[in-house]
Amino acid sequence: MSRFLLPLFVLMFAAYRVVAADIALDGDCPPGFELTAGHCELRSLYQMYDSLENAGVGGLKTGLPGYRDGFTPQQIDLGRYLFFDPVLSVDGSVSCASCHQPDKGFADGRGRSIGVKDEPLKRSAPSLWNVAFLNSFFWDGRADSLEQQMLGPLYDTHEMGNSPENLLQTMNGIPAYRKLFAEAWPAEFKFPGAQIRLDQIYTAIVAFQTTLISLNSRYDQYAHGYADALTEREKEGMNVFRSFVARCAECHTPPLFTNQQIAVIGTPEPEGMLFDIGAEKTLNEPSQRGGFKIPSLRNIDLTAPYMHSGRFTTLREAAAFYTGGRGHAVPQGEQLKIHWHIWEPRLTDEELDRLVDFMKTLTDESFKPLEPAQLPSGLLPVHNNTAPTGITLTGEENNE
């Protein structure tokens, strides 16, 4: 088999040499950001509003929670290459984008994600849209920064399977990356022999992740004052959503559609999977058994299946869970402190349909980043088997 692979590899490498010299980092900020003194700062119409206690939760015209920004355009663009590059995994088979695919709401369409070992992990990959605003990460909230979070997938033997030593060695062995890191951190690469550092890798990936802003949905147009942005049915759905019968907005609170708390709601695992204790482990707190982070509902229509292990295939099923009765899906023998907002709202079929109508108005991909056609490592992107639209076969980004 290697007889066939080797020429392919050489060919690929030849292509890489040409490409590597071509790749240069973008000096412009991505959409949604203003370049200010060399740094990209977030700009959004939501910055016209305050929020109570600056908590970033409220109603329609409510300010955003605290967020991460201020990276340079070059750091952001370097992060984009790293994000799509399978060279970050131990065997070159998986990139960040494998589980966070731009065309699948930066999730992967699976109930449970698949890593380098080709077998399902314990939980689903959360969407990366609007992670700039989040203050805890993973379904059980066990990381409190994106930097800390990415150590999970990078070095978990089941996810990307790499090690810090190997990652550093790999990156420093790729001249194209050394050049790009020098563009992103010119001062630190002034001296000959300067090496790529782990914290630079992490920072670049965070810089990219925090540009995945989705705040221009039709719901947002309504929130900013354009009443016709939503249909009558969608408005009905919005009123069910924020009503104190369905109570969705009590936890999925605007403007982010999460209040970033952990809640025990007692959703079922897929058939045959053991009960996941969730945040009980993180917090070492038995009353949080089965607790998971409340996910944002922005772009939720793009990220089926739903819940931490993907038990529900449609938004309709996910919504219907909440009207099934308090604790109805809790396995026998489990004593959970089910959240007080989980009750028996007796939503009608029409109301569930309207809720789904409303949740679909939270879709906005207008700032979706372009996927690089070639990667500095010379490897091919692995997250899509077919060339995604917007990228030509010759490789250059088709942004025309």
Partner 1 sequence: MNKLIAVVGAIALLAGGFYLGQSKQPAPTVIKVPAEPREKFSSAGAEEVASAPAATVRSLETPTSGELIVVKDGESIQDAVKQASPGAVIKVMPGTYRETVYIDKDNITLSGVIEQGKYPVLEGEGKRNDAILYSGNGVTIENFYITHYKGNGVMGQAGNNYIIRNNFVVDTGVYGIFPQLGKNGIVSHNIISGIEDAAIYVGMSDNVDVVFNQVYESVAGIEIENSRHALVEGNMVYDNTGGILAFITPGLPIKTCGDVIIRNNFVVDNNHENFAIPGSLVSNIPSGTGMLIMACDDVVVENNIITGNKSAGMIFTDFSLATSAATDPDSEPNPNRPKILNNIMRNNGDDPEPMVRAFLATQLEARGPDIVDTVGMDDGCILNPERYRTLGLDKYGECEFASTANVASYTLPEPVPPRSMEDLDKGKLAYYGVCAGCHAYDSRMIGPPARIIQAIYMDDPQAIADYAANPERKREDYPEMPPQSHLDEETRLAAAKFMLNLKN
> What are the residues binding partner 1 (CB under 8 A)?
28, 31-35, 43-53, 55, 57-63, 215-216, 221-222, 224-229, 235, 239-240, 242-246, 249, 253-254, 259-264, 283, 285, 287-288, 291, 326, 337-340, 342-343, 345, 366-367, 399-400
| Closest CB 389 distance from partner 1, rounded Å | 13
Between residues 313 and 366, which has the closer beta carbon with respect to partner 1?
366
CB within 8 Å of 6: residues ≥ 6 apart: none
| CB 185 within 8 Å of CB 155 | no
Query: Closest separation between CB of residue 320 and partner 1, Å?
Result: 17
Q: Which of these, 195, 174, 178, lies nearest to 377 by C-alpha position?
A: 174
Inter-residue contact 46 to 40 (CB < 8 Å)? no
Smallest distance, partner 1 to C-beta of residue 59, A: 3
Minimum CB distance to partner 1 smaller for 32 or for 372: 32
Element (H, E) at 293: strand 291-293
Pairing mode, strands 39-42 and 291-293: unpaired
- With respect to partner 1, which residue has the nearer C-beta, 135 or 169? 135
Residue number, 131 or 174, with CB nearest to partner 1: 131
Provide the β-strand partners of residue 293: 262
Place of tokens 């990228």: 391
Q: Which is nearer to partner 1, 112 or 242 (CB)?
A: 242
User: For the packed helices 198-209 and 73-84, what is the interaxial angle rounded to 10 degrees?
Assistant: 100
**CA 131 from centre of chain:** 6
Q: How far is the CB of 175 from partner 1 (least distance, A)?
A: 27
Asked if 284 contacts 316 with a C-beta cutoff of 8 angstroms, the reply is no
CB of 34 to partner 1, least distance (A): 5
DSSP state string for 12-68 = HHHHHHHHHHH-----SPPTTEEEETTEEEE--GGGG---GGG-S-SSTT-PPPP--
Query: How near is the Cβ of 209 to partner 1 at its closest, in Å?
Result: 18
Measured from the CB atom, the residue of 320 and 382 that comes closer to partner 1 is 320
CB of 102 to partner 1, least distance (A): 15
- Tell me the closest approach of the beta carbon of residue 226 to partner 1, in angstroms: 4
**Residue whose CB is less far from partner 1, 191 or 244:** 244
Please answer whether residues 342 and 250 qualify as being in contact, where contact means their C-beta atoms are separated by less than 8 angstroms. Answer: no
Q: Is the dihedral of CA 83, 85, 90, 93 positive or negative?
A: positive
Reading the block at residue 222, the tokens are 């309504």
With respect to partner 1, which residue has the nearer C-beta, 172 or 261? Answer: 261
The DSSP result for 254-271, as a single string, is: TTTT----EEE--PPPST
Please identify, using beta-carbon distances, which residue of 42 and 131 lies nearer to partner 1: 42
Minimum Å gap between C-beta 368 and partner 1 is 9
